[in-house]
Amino acid sequence: MGKEEPGPQGSEFTIGKENNSPTESRFTRMKKSDNSQSQLFATRLGVIAATVGSAVGLGNIWRFPYEAGVHGGGAFMIVYLVFIFLLGIPVLTAEFVLGRSTHRSVFGAFGFLKPGTRFKGIGLIGVVASLMILSFYSVVAGWTLEYFIRSFGDLFSKNGSDDFHRMFGEFTEGWRPILWTVVFLLINMLVIVRGVQKGVERASNIITPLLFVLILIFCVNSLTLSGAREGLEFLFRPDFSEISPSVVIGAMGQAFFSLSLGLGCMLTYASYFKDDTPLIRSATVTAGLDVMAAILSGILIFPAVFTYGFSPEAGPALVFEVLPAIFAQMPGGKIFAPLFFFMLFLASLSSTISMSEIMVSWLTRERGVSRRSACWLTIGIAMFFGVLCALSFSYMSGLKIAGTIEFNIFNIFDYTSSNILLPFGGMLISIFTGWQLDRNIVKKTMNEPKSWFNRFAPFVIFILKYVAPVMIFVIFVSNV
């Protein structure tokens, strides 16, 4: 685990702050480092591009519509929105506080703020969960590359939905998904190896705005379709009888996954924030744009689904079976199809970059590993497990443990990380920030001079102390 003596990065508590607690005095002993700048995001816009780029991904465009589709549309969306605003923004702010005040990785931050704390264990959850997500996520990102290429070729030789179902099945059962998983991870490698400013920030500055432009183009097109009304009603008219325990845990998992929360991803990004980056404001903007991307994705998909007579309950296949069938019938589909899969690829990339940073930042900052080696190690592990995830649709499908329990690594990684590790990590982060961390540090770190957002600080602290831990715990127990 991380060394606990003050590191080279410096902290906002280094200069000119009164020293009124033992924990704070640790900060005042630290020195600002001369060469820390390249380890920080250069601009405020870069901060938003990076955090929104991390948040907006397959979770919004692929997972949100199918989860909403399976769980009755509007009802799922309401529960999801409640989780985003009630838990998401406060926990996101907590991760920002831990990252920006320490400039350390998810392993280093906890021990640094409270030497000897057991909460350092959150680092382990973060690194394990990030590698699990990176593995199965890269498989799906690889599918988007295949469909992107195919949309210039044989994608339109099919017509009925059965054809597309068969095509997806044949593709995922073959060897090509393995190739695409590896290719995608290598592209990811090319970005992260360049470092925080030249790699992560620069890529996010390009990808994130482009993503929103593309989503908006698709939405406008979708709203002109004849099934627009039905699609929008499905998404926005809640049927509260649909809300069940599984909808609630699904929506909570989706909120955490979608905001990249609970595994220290946003903590890691916040460790690259400059000391004057406003936290509550950045958290609110990030969550707002993330929700917007999810809703726009719903607006993009459901009108089309209803126009062409498909069922919104297709599950994970929605984007890869139903949408191609729709593109095949839609005027201009030949242009929209490649554009759509390119958009999915970009969205995946800006998210996997952030997942990779969790381990890379730990290895480089706390373990003294060079950035290049840290990147290779992270990508290497993700490749190994990613290939296993890809194989769980083909050679390893139907694998059973002890002859009875189905062992599908892709599903196990997806379920364990989003529905268990992320909310659990989020609960621990809330407890640490709400109960363990020196209140002065929390208040000072959150303080945004002369900002309207300051009035939310007591609310955020209240949620972190009482609401988030209890709520996550109750939902867990009731699910078990």
Per-position x/- string for 241-280, each x denoting binding to ligand PFF as judged by CB under 6 A, each - no binding: ----------------xx-x--x-x---------------
As a whole number of angstroms, the distance between CA 309 and CA 326 comes to: 9
Q: Specify the residue for token string 């909460």.
A: 119
Between 54 and 307, name the residue whose CB sits nearer to ligand PFF: 54
Write the CB contacts of 335 (distance below 8 Å, at least 6 apart in sequence): none
Exactly one of 10, 46, 59, 434 binds ligand PFF (CB under 6 A); that residue is: 59
What are the φ/ψ torsions at residue 60 (nearest 5 degrees)?
A: -85, -45
Exactly one of 50, 58, 203, 431 binds ligand PFF (CB under 6 A); that residue is: 58
Between 286 and 364, name the residue whose CB sits nearer to ligand PFF: 286
Q: Which stretch binds ligand PFF (CB under 6 A): 151-159, 347-355, 429-437, 438-446?
A: 347-355
For residue 263, the minimal CB distance to ligand PFF (Å) is 5
Q: Is 91 in the site for ligand PFF (CB under 6 A)?
A: no
Between 125 and 263, name the residue whose CB sits nearer to ligand PFF: 263
Per-position x/- string for 360-399, each x denoting binding to ligand PFF as judged by CB under 6 A, each - no binding: ----------------------------------------
Q: Is 130 in the site for ligand PFF (CB under 6 A)?
A: yes
Between 54 and 161, name the residue whose CB sits nearer to ligand PFF: 54
The residue number whose beta carbon is nearest to ligand PFF equals 59
Q: Is 148 in the site for ligand PFF (CB under 6 A)?
A: no
Exactly one of 2, 7, 53, 57 binds ligand PFF (CB under 6 A); that residue is: 57
As a whole number of angstroms, the distance between CA 149 and CA 342 comes to: 9
As a whole number of angstroms, the distance between CA 345 and CA 205 comes to: 16
Q: Is 60 in the site for ligand PFF (CB under 6 A)?
A: yes
Exactly one of 113, 196, 346, 355 binds ligand PFF (CB under 6 A); that residue is: 355
For residue 297, the minimal CB distance to ligand PFF (Å) is 10
Between 58 and 289, name the residue whose CB sits nearer to ligand PFF: 58
Exactly one of 133, 249, 441, 457 binds ligand PFF (CB under 6 A); that residue is: 133
Number of residues that bind ligand PFF (CB under 6 A): 16
Q: Which stretch binds ligand PFF (CB under 6 A): 81-89, 176-184, 226-234, 351-359?
A: 351-359
Between 161 and 282, name the residue whose CB sits nearer to ligand PFF: 282
Q: Is 354 in the site for ligand PFF (CB under 6 A)?
A: yes
Name the maximum alpha-carbon separation found in the chain: 71
Q: Which stretch binds ligand PFF (CB under 6 A): 54-62, 95-103, 223-231, 326-334?
A: 54-62
Exactly one of 39, 161, 181, 351 binds ligand PFF (CB under 6 A); that residue is: 351
Exactly one of 55, 125, 203, 314 binds ligand PFF (CB under 6 A); that residue is: 55
What are the φ/ψ torsions at residue 16 (nearest 5 degrees)?
A: 65, 20
Q: 90 and 471 in contact (C-beta within 8 Å)?
A: no
Q: 112 and 432 in contact (C-beta within 8 Å)?
A: no
For residue 307, the minimal CB distance to ligand PFF (Å) is 26
Q: Which stretch binds ligand PFF (CB under 6 A): 21-29, 50-58, 184-192, 216-224?
A: 50-58
For residue 265, the minimal CB distance to ligand PFF (Å) is 3
Footprint on residues 439-478 left by ligand PFF (CB under 6 A):
none
Q: 208 and 350 in contact (C-beta within 8 Å)?
A: yes
Q: Is 225 in the site for ligand PFF (CB under 6 A)?
A: no
For residue 117, the minimal CB distance to ligand PFF (Å) is 22
For residue 458, the minimal CB distance to ligand PFF (Å) is 28
Site residues, ligand PFF (CB under 6 A): 54-55, 57-60, 130, 133, 257-258, 260, 263, 265, 351, 354-355
